[in-house]
C-alpha cells in the first residue's frame, strides 16, 4: 500500500475537469493489490471514514473531488490481463487508461468501441459513469461493452457479477458476495427513459444486476477489474467535417444521415455557431459563411474511402451544404487531424473556464428523437437572449448535445444556473434525461431530483444503504450528503 499524506502530493487528487474548488482529504491510499484495497475499505468502514474513489480526474461533475475523509486511487490496477482476438474480449484493471486499451486493441486487430472525449480517463471511471463518447451512435455506451465486473464493496467484501447470470425480479433482487453473504437490493419504482441515459442507479424488475454498478459513480463499490467485449478493427474509417451556412441546414443533414441507410455510421457530432467560431481560432481555412458544422465517421470496407465520399456528397448537398465547404479525410493522418479538431472544442472550453475562475454551467441533456429540434430551438432562443457566453456542441446523432454557458462573474453564474434549470425542466418535460453520459456527481443533485422527484431519490438512497450501510463511498455523488441520513423507509 502506498500512502501519500503531504499536501503537495495530495493536491493533484483534489480536482477534476469540473473546476469544482475547495476539496480536501486526510490522505491518499494507493492499493497495490486486491488485498490492500480490501484492508483499506474495512478500516474505513469500521471507522466510518468517507472514501472518495480517484480515477483519472476527467470527471466534469466533481465526482472525484473529496470533502473530507480519504482518497483511494485505483492507479495501480493498470494491467491488461488478457486481450483475446479470437473471442473478441479483454480483461482489464480499473486503472487502465482508455487510450492504452484502445492502442493495445488496435495492435491486436481489435476495436474498443467506447470513445470518450477524455482519452486519459481510467476504464473504471468510464464504467462508473457509463461514459459514451462520439462513437456510441453505432455501438452504444460503455454499458454495452461490459460483461463482467469484479468489485469491492464499502465493507471490503468482494462481489463478482457476469452479464446474464443474475436478473432482478420482485421475488429475488439479491446479489451475493464472494464469501456467500446475500444482499437484498430494494428495487425502485422509478422508470428510466428509453434513451441514452446515465442519470441515477440503473435498477428495476427485469434489469441485469451488473447494470446497477455501471453508472453508480463510485457510490456503491470500487472497481477492480472488468471483462469487455470488442469488435474486429474496421478496415477503414471515413471521416468528414461538413460546414453549413445555417444551423437548420446542419440539423437537416443529421436527419438525413440517420434515415439514409448508413448502418456503419459511427458518429454524428454537432457544432453550433459559437463552436464554429472556436474552430476559426484553430484553423484559418474554416469556410467564411459557416454557421454550423457536422463531424461524422463511418466504417468502410478496405479501399472504400472514395466510395464513401461520393455517397455522402448527395446527402450534404441535399441538406443545404456544399462540397466546397466539406473536408474529407483521405488518409489516416488527415483523419487524425479532423478528430483532433473535433476534440479541440471541449478542450478549449475547459481552458476558458479555468482562466475565468468560475465554473461553467454545462448541461448533458438527451431527449427522445421526436423532440430534438424543439429542444434545439429552445436552447438557441434562450441563449441568444441571455447575453452570456455559450457554446453548443455534441452528439446530435443521439439527440444529445452539450450546452456550455461560461460566466465571467458571480452575477453571470447565478443567471446561467437559472437558465440551466430552464433547460433541465424543458428536457424532462419532453421525456428526456438530465445526464446522458457524464453522470450527476456533486454538481447536478437538483437536476436529478427534477427528473425523478424526491421519492425517486429516496429509492436510490435505499439502494445505496443496502450496499454501503455506513454510507462512506462517494459521499456527495448522485445525491447530497444530507439525504443519506433520512429515515430508511422514506418515500
Contact 450, 434 (CB under 8 A): yes
- CB contact set of 370 (below 8 Å; sequence gap of 6+): none
Give residue for cell 469540473: 18
C-alpha cell at 303: 479501399
Give the tens place of pLDDT for each residue, 459-468: 999 999 999 9
pLDDT over 60 at 446, yes or no: yes
What is the rounded distance in angstroms from the CA atom of residue 347 to the CA atom of residue 91?
Answer: 30
Contact 491, 186 (CB under 8 A): no
Average pLDDT score over residue span 234-249? 92
Residue ranges of domains in the chain: 80-187+199-232, 233-352, 357-439
Fold match between domain 233-352 and domain 357-439: yes
Lowest mean pLDDT among 60-64, 299-303, 452-456: 299-303
Res 357 pLDDT > 50 = yes
Query: Do the Cβ atoms of 226 and 123 come closer than 8 Å?
Result: yes
pLDDT of amino acid 304: 64
pLDDT at residue 339 tops 50: yes
The predicted structure's pLDDT at residue 490: 37
- Looking at residue 329, its pLDDT comes to 85
| pLDDT value, residue 305 | 64
| pLDDT class of 113 with cuts at 50, 70, 90 | confident
At 359 the pLDDT is 79
Architecture of 357-439 per CATH? Answer: 2-Layer Sandwich (3.30)
- Give the model confidence (pLDDT) of 266-281 as tens digits: 999 999 999 999 999 8
Instruction: Report pLDDT for 20.
Output: 81
Pick the CATH number of 80-187+199-232 from 3.30.465.10, 3.40.50.1370, 3.40.50.620, 3.30.70.20: 3.30.465.10
Mean pLDDT of the chain: 91
- 233-352 sits in which CATH class? alpha beta
| pLDDT higher than threshold 60 for residue 491 | no
Lowest mean per-residue pLDDT among 176-190, 237-251, 325-339, 404-418: 325-339
Which of 42-46, 179-183, 260-264, 374-378 has the weakest average pLDDT?
Answer: 260-264
What pLDDT is attached to residue 347? 83
3-state secondary structure of 390: strand
* Owner of C-alpha cell 457510490: 219
Q: How many CB atoms lie within 10 A of CB 345?
A: 25
pLDDT given for residue 473 in this prediction:
97
The three-point CA angle 116-120-126 to 5° equals 50
Amino acid at each position: 500500500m502506498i500512502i501519500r499524506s503531504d499536501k503537495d502530493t495530495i493536491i493533484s487528487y483534489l480536482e477534476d475537469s469540473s473546476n469544482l474548488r475547495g476539496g480536501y482529504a486526510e490522505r491518499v491510499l494507493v492499493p497495490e493489490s486486491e488485498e490492500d484495497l480490501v484492508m483499506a475499505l474495512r478500516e474505513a468502514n469500521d471507522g466510518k471514514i468517507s472514501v472518495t474513489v480517484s480515477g483519472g480526474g476527467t470527471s466534469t461533475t466533481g465526482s472525484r473531488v473529496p470533502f473530507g475523509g480519504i482518497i483511494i486511487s485505483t492507479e495501480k490496477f493498470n494491467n491488461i490481463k488478457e486481450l483475446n482476438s479470437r473471442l473478441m474480449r479483454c480483461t482489464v484493471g480499473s486503472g487502465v487508461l482508455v487510450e492504452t486499451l484502445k492502442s493495445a486493441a488496435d495492435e491486436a486487430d481489435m476495436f474498443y468501441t467506447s470513445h470518450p472525449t477524455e482519452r486519459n480517463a481510467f476504464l473504471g471511471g468510464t464504467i462508473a459513469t457509463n461514459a459514451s463518447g462520439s462513437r456510441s451512435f453505432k455501438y452504444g455506451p460503455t454499458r454495452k461493452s461490459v460483461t463482467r465486473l469484479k468489485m469491492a464493496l464499502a465493507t471490503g467484501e468482494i462481489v463478482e457479477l457476469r452479464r446474464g447470470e443474475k436478473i432482478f425480479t420482485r421475488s429475488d433482487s439479491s446479489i451475493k458476495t464472494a464469501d456467500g453473504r446475500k444482499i437484498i437490493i430494494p428495487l425502485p419504482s422509478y422508470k428510466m427513459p428509453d434513451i441514452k441515459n446515465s442519470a441515477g442507479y440503473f435498477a428495476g424488475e427485469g434489469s441485469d444486476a451488473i447494470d446497477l454498478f455501471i453508472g453508480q459513480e463510485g457510490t456503491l463499490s470500487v472497481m477492480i477489474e472488468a471483462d469487455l467485449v470488442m469488435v474486429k478493427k474496421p478496415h477503414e474509417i471515413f471521416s468528414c467535417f461538413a460546414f453549413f451556412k445555417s444551423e437548420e441546414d446542419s440539423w437537416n443533414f443529421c436527419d438525413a444521415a440517420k434515415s439514409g441507410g448508413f448502418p456503419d455510421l459511427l458518429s454524428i457530432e454537432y457544432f453550433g455557431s459559437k463552436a464554429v467560431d472556436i474552430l476559426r481560432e484553430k484553423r484559418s481555412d474554416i469556410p467564411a459563411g459557416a454557421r454550423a458544422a457536422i463531424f461524422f465517421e463511418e466504417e468502410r470496407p478496405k479501399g472504400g474511402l472514395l466510395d464513401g465520399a461520393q455517397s455522402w456528397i448527395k446527402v450534404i448537398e441535399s441538406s443545404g451544404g456544399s462540397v466546397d465547404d466539406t473536408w474529407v479525410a483521405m488518409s489516416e493522418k488527415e483523419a487524425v487531424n479532423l478528430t483532433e479538431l473535433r476534440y479541440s472544442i471541449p478542450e478549449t472550453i475547459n481552458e476558458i473556464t479555468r482562466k475565468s475562475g468560475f465554473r461553467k454551467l454545462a448541461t448533458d441533456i438527451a431527449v427522445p428523437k421526436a423532440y430534438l429540434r424543439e429542444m434545439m430551438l429552445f436552447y438557441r432562443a434562450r441563449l441568444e437572449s441571455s447575453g452570456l457566453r455559450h457554446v453548443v456542441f455534441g452528439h446530435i446523432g443521439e439527440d444529445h448535445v452539450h450546452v456550455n454557458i461560461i460566466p465571467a462573474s458571480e452575477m453571470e453564474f447565478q443567471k446561467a444556473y437559472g437558465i440551466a434549470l430552464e433547460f433541465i425542466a424543458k428536457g424532462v418535460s419532453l421525456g428526456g434525461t438530465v445526464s446522458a453520459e457524464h453522470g450527476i456527481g456533486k454538481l447536478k443533485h437538483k437536476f436529478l431530483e427534477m427528473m425523478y422527484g424526491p421519492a425517486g431519490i429516496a429509492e436510490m438512497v435505499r439502494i445505496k444503504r443496502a450496499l454501503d450501510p455506513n454510507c462512506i463511498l462517494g459521499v456527495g455523488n448522485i445525491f447530497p450528503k444530507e439525504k443519506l441520513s433520512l429515515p430508511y423507509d422514506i418515500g
